[in-house]
Chains A and B, each alone.
Chain A
Amino acid sequence: MIRLAIPVLGLIILAGLPMFVSEYELGLMIGMATYVALASAWALFSGHTHYISLATVAFYGTGAYTVAVLNESLPYPAVILCAGLIGAAMALLVGLSTLRLSGIYFVIFTFGLAELVRQLITWYEVTITGTLGRYIFLDLTAQDIYWQMLALCAIAIGLTAWINRTRLGLALRAIGDDEIVAAHSGIHLARTKLIAFTISATLITLVGAVASPRWVYVEPLIVFNPTVSFLTVIMALLGGANRLWGPLVGAIPLFLLFEWLSVNFPDTYPIFLGLMFIGVVFVLPNGVLAGLDDLRAWLGRRGK
């Protein structure tokens, strides 16, 4: 009961916060919520299966672009629904054709996917519509966007918690441990991976759709920025991608650190960024939460 009450209480407090903060702080909270949602959604598939996906921005950008295309012809809820459906359809298509790839081949493919989608949209806009930039004129306040993003965080983390308790979660963990053993124990590999990948990608698409009204102007180069994919991965890994709260624990401090660096060291911040990436991989390969557990175990042993 308590395990459920604390997160719900936290969510209520977070939802009420916009009443008390300045616009800049609200902007920060939107940014944090965006990356918590992205990292959690990413970890939903990649955390247990260990399939490192760099396709985050392919879906995120698709969501943003869907809003840009449809925002003037459909009411907002319908636009968001369309974005989700398009994301799911794209994930099914991609998943069916690629989840048989494993290891490094999957990483390379997902990285290429973002580029592929960007080029396809560019080609379409250039040859068919004859224009490239699109505008999003929606009367949404920063608060509206924050609440929607918070809801997506809750859905992403809630879904992960639920899946972890079901047969699907067990199957995903088995796949992550050893795919061949999992197949021999009767787990339907392709179907299991496809379901998790589609849920994860749909959530990421929705994050892009919800975030986009803040940019007003959208073009492929702006929405398919590969940095988003890398940041998502590093945030989830820092916290611990196979833990329920790991992506959140990784995303918030990293996001705040980037903001602090760009405010105080606008000229040298990419150097710090690079050093930090290296640091995470070397010092905390399994994430902060796993590191804390190790520390606790070590202290416990010493205590005896």
Chain B
Amino acid sequence: MKMTRRTTMRALASGVAMSMLLGANLAYSADETVTIGYAVAKTGPNATGAGITTIPNYELWVKDVNAAGGLTMPDGSKRMIEVIEYDDRSSNEDLVRAIERLATKDKVDLILPPWGTGSNLAIAPLMDRFGYPQLGVTAVTDKAPEFAARWKRSYWMLGGGHDYAKGLADVLKAAVADGTLNGKVAMVSVADGFGIDLVSGARPAFEEAGLEVVYDKTYPLGTSDFAALMAEAQASGADSFVAFSYPPDSFGMTKTAQSMGYNPKVFYIGVGGAFPIFGKIADGKEEGVMSIGGVNAASPAIKEYFARHIESAGAPPDSWASAITYASLEMLAQSVERVGLDHAKLAEDLSTGSFSTIIGEVKLEDNQLRDLWWVGQWQNGTFIAVNPSDKDGAVAPVVPKPNW
């Protein structure tokens, strides 16, 4: 065969094409990704909660996993995560449609849950039908055992209203036994799902703990002036003030208590108390304020998580559901490493396996996370967990709270 310029060119070209094909093949096997989809509220009333607790943790986790080369598969190979995200506009109708899209059109490998109790319930039947495991973190519900039984692949990881009320009753009861508190409680609650759940858990729990509720008022959602309510609570003779409130209310009550010089020995507020911004709201006087949740501030894993969260999202996480959200994702990654992406096997492993996460060793009981912090308190600029007092990492509550 004569080596003409034409044949040389042809040979070269086909060689290049061959190697490109080969290269493409190689690149394909290395680049095969795991697609993870989620629909969360980026607009509308749920956007605040999703923006603080859910979205930053999803983003941080994906960043962490991909920085480490991707999700580890059972055979030891690694696959990068590719994210598909939708805005549910805080509407359940849109959310349901987004989940249908993720499952049937995008055919994602895994679906992460939305923010909020109602949203998690709205997608539960769909997730069940499509077979996806649902690691519901931001859903506080006393019906978790029923739901876990109804939808076998759903997991409920933030407890119910009764748990938090019972934890608070324990803290108050101990302080009454010490003689620090007079046993009288003034209690206010927001007339919305969360407030009602907690207050209906608190009434029997407080009674059982031998506490006397001398003031018990409900206020409508969206109330912005708390002066009258707080004045009545102050005049009620109670030295513990308990509010099952939403973030704007929690902040408003703190401001009101400060401006009117109301200094109960226990000052407890609902959602928002564990937000990193609370210190600023309280004008730097957050010391001693109690609220829902808490973290084991002495844990190196938590400290490191806070640092990474600040670096990734530009703000520290909240000290209640954020760390649990991140831990649920760590569980998912560990399950995938053990059994791969098959949904039935994943569900089985999530129900029965144990996981090492930033909140410690986790094992679910009947698809629920029960090893949780119920009450936390601001101490020296950190919101740390005080109840259950026998859980590893709990610190003693400071009662009475120092004056504002």
Determine if A132 and B43 form an interchain contact, defined as CB atoms under 8 angstroms apart: no
Determine if B86 and A266 form an interchain contact, defined as CB atoms under 8 angstroms apart: yes
**Contact status of A269 and B192, CB under 8 A, knowing A23-B104, A214-B96, A221-B221:** no
Distance of A252 from chain B, by nearest CB (Å):
15
Distance of A276 from chain B, by nearest CB (Å):
15
A contact residues around B100 at 8 Å (CB): 23-24, 26-27, 142
Known: A122-B191, A126-B196, A227-B44. 9 other contacts (CB 8 A): A27-B97, A127-B218, A132-B197, A216-B125, A222-B92, A259-B97, A262-B89, A266-B85, A266-B86
Determine if B92 and A215 form an interchain contact, defined as CB atoms under 8 angstroms apart: yes
Determine if A126 and B121 form an interchain contact, defined as CB atoms under 8 angstroms apart: no
Distance of B39 from chain A, by nearest CB (Å):
9
CB contacts under 8 Å to A, within B82-135, are 85-87, 89-94, 96-97, 100-101, 103-105, 117-118, 121-122, 124-125
Distance of A128 from chain B, by nearest CB (Å):
12
CB contacts under 8 Å to A, within B304-357, are none
**Contact status of A221 and B196, CB under 8 A, knowing A24-B101, A227-B91, A266-B42:** no
Which of B100, B218, B220 counts the most chain A CB atoms within 10 A?
Answer: B100
Determine if A267 and B42 form an interchain contact, defined as CB atoms under 8 angstroms apart: yes
Determine if B93 and A31 form an interchain contact, defined as CB atoms under 8 angstroms apart: yes
B contact residues around A23 at 8 Å (CB): 100, 103-104
B contact residues around A22 at 8 Å (CB): 104-105
CB contacts under 8 Å to A, within B361-399, are none
Determine if B93 and A215 form an interchain contact, defined as CB atoms under 8 angstroms apart: yes
What is the bound-complex CA distance between A177 and B124, given in angstroms?
50
What is the bound-complex CA distance between A263 and B103, given in angstroms?
14
Determine if B121 and A217 form an interchain contact, defined as CB atoms under 8 angstroms apart: yes
Determine if B193 and A216 form an interchain contact, defined as CB atoms under 8 angstroms apart: no
- Minimum CB distance partner of A130 in chain B: B200
Instruction: Kindly state whether residue A253 has any CB partner on chain B within 8 Å.
Output: no
Distance of B373 from chain A, by nearest CB (Å):
24
Interface size of A by CB at 8 A reads 38
Distance of A24 from chain B, by nearest CB (Å):
4
A contact residues around B104 at 8 Å (CB): 22-24
Determine if A262 and B221 form an interchain contact, defined as CB atoms under 8 angstroms apart: no
Encoded as 1 (CB less than 8 Å from any A CB) or 0, chain B from 56 to 93 comes to 00000000000000000000000000000111011111
What is the bound-complex CA distance between A215 and B126, given in angstroms?
10
What is the bound-complex CA distance between A183 and B190, given in angstroms?
49
B contact residues around A189 at 8 Å (CB): none
- Minimum CB distance partner of B218 in chain A: A126
Instruction: Kindly state whether residue A143 has any CB partner on chain B within 8 Å.
Output: no
What is the bound-complex CA distance between A168 and B78, given in angstroms?
70
What is the bound-complex CA distance between A270 and B221, given in angstroms?
25
Determine if A216 and B122 form an interchain contact, defined as CB atoms under 8 angstroms apart: yes
What is the bound-complex CA distance between A34 and B92, given in angstroms?
14
Ranked 10 nearest A-B pairs via Cβ: A217-B121, A266-B87, A27-B97, A27-B100, A24-B101, A215-B92, A24-B100, A23-B104, A24-B105, A126-B191
- Minimum CB distance partner of A133 in chain B: B193
Determine if A135 and B121 form an interchain contact, defined as CB atoms under 8 angstroms apart: yes
Encoded as 1 (CB less than 8 Å from any A CB) or 0, chain B from 205 to 236 comes to 00000000000001011000000000000000
A contact residues around B191 at 8 Å (CB): 122-123, 126, 132
**29 A/B residue pairs, CB under 8 Å, sorted by A:** A22-B104, A23-B103, A24-B97, A27-B97, A27-B100, A28-B97, A34-B93, A122-B192, A133-B117, A133-B118, A214-B92, A214-B122, A215-B92, A215-B118, A215-B122, A216-B122, A216-B125, A217-B92, A217-B117, A217-B122, A219-B192, A221-B192, A225-B90, A263-B86, A266-B42, A266-B85, A267-B42, A267-B87, A269-B87
Determine if A222 and B218 form an interchain contact, defined as CB atoms under 8 angstroms apart: no
CB contacts under 8 Å to B, within A25-65, are 25-28, 31, 34
A contact residues around B122 at 8 Å (CB): 214-217
A contact residues around B218 at 8 Å (CB): 126-127
CB contacts under 8 Å to B, within A234-270, are 259, 262-263, 266-267, 269-270
